[in-house]
Structure 1
Amino acid sequence: MSVLVEGLAYPEGPCFDDAGVLHFVELAGGCVGKVVNGEKVVVAEVPGSPNGAAFDHRGRLWWCNNGGNWGPNASTGHRPGLGGGPGLIQRLEADGSVTDVITATSGGQPLNSPNDLAFDAEGGLWFTDPVWARRDPTGSAPAAASPPGRLCYAGPDEVAVPVATGLSFPNGLALVPGERALIVGETGTGRLLRHEILGPGRLGPAEVWSELGDESFPDGLCFTASGRLVVAGTGSGTLFVVGPDGRLQERRPMDDIDVTNVCFGGPGHRSLYVTQAALGRIEVLEWPEPGARLPGR
């Protein structure tokens, strides 16, 4: 393993553009960046707190903005982000400007604190929208104490509709390779939920696909080419590897307790890029099999 870039304030949202350049966000740094020759280059300054990110089928970068929420850790000087800003889905335009694409659901209800997003093969956007709990004396917000959150969908009209509710801090999500199914991590319960995708914005009922345990704190997710799921366990300092049947196959301890997200890239798609929020860096691990290609990319 090796450190790609460091000195970041709560990094998240790793994703690659079509040219193979790694992009990321900094929750506490309020920016979207990319890595060029091992150095951070700021792409956009973003008020609030950019979170999970992904490129769409047209090569545009989208991200969640959770309104200024983050937990205290070493990279933030142990200063928490207390929220207060609007929840948004944002996009970087060709001229470098930032567009607030989605600010509310179709019923006019404001977004809570969007966390992560994924595009399906038809270009539909799925995103998680948790609610942060009341802060404890340290500034942390225990996920298990969060009010119910939801999963939302937006089609080409860029109108968001809730498609699943009552979730215990819904966090990372990923499309199952070769299947019309979606996996969603519940940080509050340590469960991974599986939904069949019945059509644009339509899901089958949730089934518990895997139980990682309430100390696992699943965050960002990505699949390998064979259908194994890699889960970043923020707060647990662990990468979990789950087989296609939902059974836990491996626990890989990491140096950072706050591993927040994961993605595959590099030659042959065989490198796993891990955002480490407490240490403020992105680490690269060589992986024994390639990562799955994202739908439409």
Structure 2
Amino acid sequence: MTTADERVIATGFAYTEGPCIGPDGTLWVVELAGGCVSRIEDGRRIVVARPGGSPNGAAFAPDGRLVFCNNGGNWGPNESTGMRPGPGGGHPAIQCLTGDGEVHTLLDSIDGTPLNAPNDLCFDQHGGYYFTDPVWARRDEHGSAPAAASPPGDVCYVSPDGTARRVHHGLRFPNGLHVTPDGQALLVGETGTGLIHRFDITAPGSLGPPATYADLGPDSFPDGMCFDRDGRLLVAGTGSGAVFVVAPGGGTVQDTVRFADPDVTNVCFGGPDQRTLFVTQASLGRVVAIEWPVPGMALFTGARPEQGQGESQ
């Protein structure tokens, strides 16, 4: 077990999530309870768009647009939200942010059935993307919705031409996901069980049956994830206060990196040498960074988009 030597990058967020690096190296984040999409410059939170609902996992598309999940207003109560849970009842969708700061809805249903609560997404090498679509459990008397009590959710795929389909059903709150560095498999975290599942990709958007890639334990609550250059999978454990480091090829947890905030929601690599691991902390409403011994896996982000001016806060 390792204690993180964390450096605070920016504060003042309401349930931070979705860290990703833009084509020009700028760090972007979303806020579930703040309903906004921001970039971070010199430690400042620059709000670029306010789509409302609950912006969640995000990634840059090959054409430079920021594509993000919007779960429709769900989040758990924590310090950054004043212990206020998300009310739900919004419009779950996959949305995108253009260079001029406009938000567009790309997808809100598949085959006529509305999406549940899109959570996270990742692109493949063909320009399509996978996203998780869990179902939130009924909230308890404290406003929490335990992932272990969630009904089965979906994993979905959207091809480059916009065609969408559900490619797997049955995980108990499918959450963070990532295509393996060789492009041969999709890894999906199941928050309700602590398992990371591996699905062989037989064709773009076609998955084989799930197999266990790693078991992080029942109190790990897997969330966002990323790979480093050596093939280790780094998984944020929301509610666990840790990032779990899974050995190349899966199976073994090599290390557990502990952070100050229990609500560690997501991770991404950035910095000039790709050795800075950015970590979103939802309860303290901030983004921190630690230095990693090797660079992160390079991700294709496409052409540089123009950035709207935004609101400096």
User: Which residue is 2:128 aligned to?
Assistant: 124
Secondary structure of 1:231's counterpart equals strand
Gaps of 5+ in 1: none
Q: Which has the higher contact order (CA 8 A, sep 6+)?
A: 2
1:268 maps to 2:273: yes
Query: Within the alignment, does 1:93 sit opposite 2:94 as a pair?
Result: no
- 8, 27, 36: which one aligns with 1:31: 36
Residues 55-94 of structure 1: matches in 2 within 5 Å? Answer: 55-94=60-99
| SS of residue paired to 1:232 | strand
- What whole-Å deviation, never above 9, does each CA across 1:99-130 have from its counterpart, x for those lacking one? 0000101x111000000000000001100000
Instruction: Give 1:295 deviation, angstroms.
Output: 4.6
Amino acid at match of 1:208: T
Query: Does the 8 Å CA contact 1:86/1:112 hold for their aligned counterparts?
Result: no
Deviation digits for residues 200-233 of structure 1 (CA, Å, limit 9, x no counterpart): 2101111011111111000000000111000000
Q: Does 1:170 align with 2:174?
A: yes
CA distance in structure 2 between the partners assigned to 1:69 and 1:123 by the alignment: 28
* Separation of aligned partners in 1, 2:192 and 2:37: 27
Please give the per-residue CA displacement for 1:158-201, whole angstroms capped at 9, x wherever unaligned: 13200000111000001111241110000000000001111121
Given that 1:66 and 1:112 are in contact with CA atoms closer than 8 Å, whether structure 2 keeps it comes out as: yes
Distance in 1 of aligned mates of 2:102 and 2:73: 20
How far is the alpha carbon of 1:95 from its aligned partner? Answer: 2.6
TM-score, normalised on structure 2? 0.93
Contact 1:240 1:251 in 2 (8 A): yes
**Contact 1:68 1:82 survives alignment (8 Å):** yes
Map 1:206-217 → 2, pairs under 5 A: 206-217=210-221
C-alpha distance in 1, partners of 2:100/2:43? 24
* TM-score of the pair, normalised by structure 1: 0.98
Equivalent pair of 1:191/1:212 in contact (CA under 8 Å): yes
Identity fraction in percent: 58
Specify the alignment match of 1:288 in structure 2: 293
Contact 1:121 1:296 in 2 (8 A): no
In 2, the alpha carbon distance for the partners of 1:295 and 1:61 equals: 13
Residue 165 of structure 2 is matched in structure 1 by: 161
CA distance, structure 2, for counterparts of residue 85 and residue 159 of structure 1: 23
Paired residue secondary structure (2:113): coil
The Cα shift of 1:296 comes to 6.0
- For 1:75, what is the secondary structure of its paired residue? helix
How many angstroms apart in 2 are the aligned matches of 1:248 and 1:73? 28
The answer for the alignment partner of 2:246 in structure 1 is: 242
Distance in 1, Cα, partners of 2:120 & 2:15: 15
Mapped partners of 1:277, 1:287: distance in 2: 21
CA distance in 1, matches of 2:218, 2:42: 39
Report the counterpart of residue 307 of structure 2 in structure 1.
none
Q: Is the 1:132–1:147 contact (alpha carbons within 8 Å) kept by the matching residues of 2? A: yes
In structure 2, the residue matched to 1:102 is 107
Residue-by-residue CA offset, 1:228-254 (whole Å, 9 max, x unaligned)? 000000001111000113111001111
1:141 to 137, 142, 145: 145
The alignment's C-alpha RMSD in Å is: 0.9
CA distance in 2, matches of 1:55, 1:23: 10
Counterpart Cα distance in 1 of 2:98 and 2:163: 18
The one-letter amino acid paired with 1:57 is P
Aligned length: 296
| Correspondence for 1:111 | 115
Partner Cα distance (2:216, 2:289) in 1: 24
Give the match's secondary structure for 1:189: coil
Would you say the 8 A contact 1:120–1:296 is kept in 2? no
Match for residue 12 of structure 1 among 1, 14, 17? 17
